[in-house]
Amino acid sequence: MATSSVSKGCFVFKPNFKKRKISVPVEDYFNKGKNESEDSKLRFETYQLIWQQMKSETERLQEELNKNLFDSLIEFLRKSYSGFQKSSRDWGCQIKLREIPTAALILDMKHFLQKLVSQLMMDCCVDEETKEGSIQVAQKKTHCSMDSLSSWYTNVTRKTDPKMPRKKRTSSSQWQSPPVVLILKDMESFTTKVLQDFIIISSQHLHEFPLILIFGIATSPIIIHRLLPHAVSSLLCIELFQSLSCKEHLTTVLDKLLLTTQFPFKLSEKVLQILTNIFLYHDFSIQNFIKGLQLSLLEHFYSQPLSVLCCNLPEAKRRINFLSDNQCENIRRLPSFRRYVEKQASEKQVALLTNERFLKEEIQSLLENLHVYHSNYFLVLRCLHQFTSSLPKYPLGRQIRELYCTCLEKNIWDSEEYVSALQLLRMLAKDELMTILQKCFKIFKSTSEKQLGSTAKRIEEFLAQFQNLDEAKEEEDTSGSLSKGLQKTDLYHLQKSLLEMKELRRTNKKQTRFEVLREKVVNFIDSLVREYLLPPETQPLHEVVYFTAGHTLREHLNAAPRIALHTALNNPYYYLKNEALKSEEGCIPNVAPDICIAYKLHLECSRLINLVDWSEAFATVVTAAEKMDADSATSEERNEIIHARFIRAVSELELLGFIKPTKQKTDHVARLTWGGC
């Protein structure tokens, strides 16, 4: 085949062999990390196992949270159906002739009902197996009038008495067939005029085309009245169904995935704060939060060689026996383990640093202590939350995640908020205190830990003492002393006596039995906090289970396209990993991509860039890498090629928003960035 004249046609050369698809297993890429070790494959498998367990727990939790909402929705449909059949009873008699039963679901996520809608059949069918026999209709684009829809409904249901003519139906006639359920899963996205007209027309044909609407709302129920005027909204018989709020949903997820010993993996205060801030200030997406948690788990097992021990306690003890010499040295280099060794006796220090067998036995003991620490930690944390979650102004936060972040960061008893909370606890009434103690008793009663086993018994003793308080007698003594001291009835002597009694109580203040007992309870809780709510950094080997690289997580999750773009154009080696692109600081490699050369040259210019000077500088850098023979191309052709490359690079920089044309000078462009980028 002659291909000398490429201007006359396009030539395709098909390879005579099938191209093999090169696929690299995920675990192989995982093994190529910066901390490659002999147990990389085991760490990857452990990551997969823990994530599958956490994912299953998340799905189970999501199903449990949605169950109540959907149960209420189904009950609404049942009431609507039975109400149309029994117009003389209860709920149905409250529905006017032209009111359309409407359920408004207040959701925090737009995709909340996508699974429900996707399960509906594409074609209309009557479910004969269910008692309701509701007709489920997918959102299907049809072009027909309400009269034709009414006729279609009559033909499909075939349950109306054939002897009854259609014209003889009255307003009091009952719906003999199940209604049509129409789901509008994203009400805010619907065209207002179309929705209004549809509701008005449907209301006119409601007696022959029974309809129930379900609105999926992502914002607030007030959107119904904003989209629909009163004349239209009055045609709807609306009932609201509220899903779990975003913050409550987040707290529930944290409680099931992090505030538990079921999963060994934990987050540091900075990492948890990053994920929480992204959730609260950016998207309110539980799915994105869980994705961030998955990324943290993956990064922990990828970058921490000792994460091989981040598994359940029996398996971790088994793996300790097979630790290599390098892994033992990694443990000795851990900051928390070094601090632990420094506190030991000199003989034990030598054994920990030289004897591998003794070291492995000590590691097993330390990991077991870490497991016990977490068990006690979460119990006391929940107990403290019960005491502080209802205090005025919430000094330690209203949600348990706020209290957890504070405890992760520092010794909570050193904070002013904790001192303020204790002061407020010393003002609680007897009923409030007993209610909180009963909740704490249920928390500690479920534990099998030895150290906290007696705590439930101690709380039970406090409850018994509160019940046995003879406050009535103290009140009688107080009222008797008060009546004895206030013998004078005139205003002057009464005020004088009250001031004297106040001063006497201030100087000779004697606490009541309730006040003494309340002080004991507050001191008891304070002692639990100081003993068990120590920050994780105080525990040896906490690096094994805690992910602390908050900056790495922020780089992945917090979008900073301008910084990433500047890094790619200013230092292409950072992403391309091509050794030829390595260069000294301030130098421009002549083998770099054209756009990188043009970008680095434009950084050296002022606000207005002369295109001629810029082009000459670009040609100077590029020609340093060009080694063309005189026979291969003339100087003029070479300059045209370089000029075309320069124009393309300038166009790309303009598209990326670094420069723009200016009317100040015809042969100049304006620079849109400043500083380093």
* pLDDT at residue 529 tops 90: yes
Taking only the tens place, the pLDDT of each residue in 315-345 is: 999 999 999 999 999 999 999 999 999 999 9
Which stretch, 37-41, 402-406, 491-495, 512-516, has highest mean pLDDT? 402-406
Residue 263 neighbours by CB under 8 Å, 6+ apart: 50, 53, 54, 57, 257
Which stretch, 7-21, 117-131, 215-229, 463-477, has highest mean pLDDT? 215-229
- What's the confidence (pLDDT) of residue 412? 94
* pLDDT at residue 127 tops 80: no
Among 21-35, 426-440, 447-461, the minimum mean pLDDT is found in 21-35
CA-based radius of gyration for the chain: 37
* pLDDT at residue 15 tops 50: no
- What's the confidence (pLDDT) of residue 120? 35
3-state secondary structure of 134: coil
Among 331-335, 364-368, 555-559, 665-669, the minimum mean pLDDT is found in 555-559
Average pLDDT rounded to a whole number, residues 353-371 = 94
Average pLDDT rounded to a whole number, residues 205-217 = 83
Side by side, which strands form the sheet with 236-242? 125-126, 135-136, 180-184, 211-217, 100-106, 236-242
Among 17-21, 111-115, 368-372, 536-540, the minimum mean pLDDT is found in 111-115
* pLDDT at residue 360 tops 60: yes
Torsion over CA of 30, 34, 40 and 41, rounded to 10 degrees? Answer: 20
Name the pLDDT band for 482 (thresholds 50, 70, 90): very low
Q: Are 437 and 462 in contact (CB under 8 A)?
A: yes
User: Over pLDDT 90: what percentage of the chain?
Assistant: 35
Among 46-60, 516-530, 583-597, the minimum mean pLDDT is found in 583-597
Average pLDDT rounded to a whole number, residues 364-384 = 94
Task: Specify the DSSP element, H or E, that contains 308.
Answer: none
Q: How many helices (H) and strands (E) does the chain have?
A: 28, 11
CA distances from 236 to 95, 202, 209, 224, 377 (A): 9, 11, 15, 10, 52
Residue indicated by tokens 């383990």: 337
- Beta-bridged to residue 135, according to DSSP, are 126, 180
Amino acid at 77: L
Cα(569)–Cα(590) distance, integer angstroms: 13
* pLDDT at residue 526 tops 70: yes
Average pLDDT rounded to a whole number, residues 7-17 = 45
C-alpha closest to that of 479 among 467, 471, 490, 489: 471
Backbone angle region of 397, left / alpha / beta, with phi > 0 → left and psi within -120 to 50 → alpha? left
C-alpha closest to that of 381 among 531, 252, 273: 531
3-state secondary structure of 106: strand
- What's the confidence (pLDDT) of residue 625? 56
**DSSP state at residue 283:** I
* pLDDT at residue 484 tops 50: no
3-state secondary structure of 558: coil
Among 199-203, 298-302, 472-476, 604-608, the minimum mean pLDDT is found in 472-476
Average pLDDT rounded to a whole number, residues 524-539 = 94
Residue indicated by tokens 């259609």: 166
Among 303-312, 317-326, 473-482, the minimum mean pLDDT is found in 473-482
Backbone angle region of 220, left / alpha / beta, with phi > 0 → left and psi within -120 to 50 → alpha? beta
Average pLDDT rounded to a whole number, residues 673-677 = 58
Task: Specify the DSSP element, H or E, that contains 240.
Answer: strand 236-242
Average pLDDT rounded to a whole number, residues 396-409 = 93
- What's the confidence (pLDDT) of residue 290? 93
Amino acid at 460: E
C-alpha closest to that of 429 among 469, 399, 394: 469
Average pLDDT rounded to a whole number, residues 302-320 = 93
Side by side, which strands form the sheet with 659-661? 608-610, 668-671, 659-661
Taking only the tens place, the pLDDT of each residue in 220-240 is: 788 888 888 988 888 888 888
* pLDDT at residue 114 tops 60: no
- What's the confidence (pLDDT) of residue 37? 60
659: phi then psi, degrees, rounded to nearest 5: -140, 165
Residue 293 neighbours by CB under 8 Å, 6+ apart: 54, 257, 267, 275
- Beta-bridged to residue 267, according to DSSP, are 547
- What's the confidence (pLDDT) of residue 364? 95
Average pLDDT rounded to a whole number, residues 426-442 = 91
For the record, the structure tokens of 450 come out as 């030895």
Q: Are 260 and 254 in contact (CB under 8 A)?
A: no
Cα(646)–Cα(639) distance, integer angstroms: 10
3-state secondary structure of 659: strand
* pLDDT at residue 282 tops 60: yes
Name the pLDDT band for 301 (thresholds 50, 70, 90): very high
- Beta-bridged to residue 612, according to DSSP, are none
State the first-to-last Cα distance of the chain, in angstroms, to the nearest integer: 52
* pLDDT at residue 143 tops 60: no
For the record, the structure tokens of 639 come out as 């300059």
Contacts of 66-70 with C-beta under 8 Å, sequence gap 24+, read 66/243, 69/105, 69/241, 69/243, 70/116
* pLDDT at residue 436 tops 70: yes
Which stretch, 214-218, 463-467, 476-480, has highest mean pLDDT? 463-467
- What's the confidence (pLDDT) of residue 564? 82
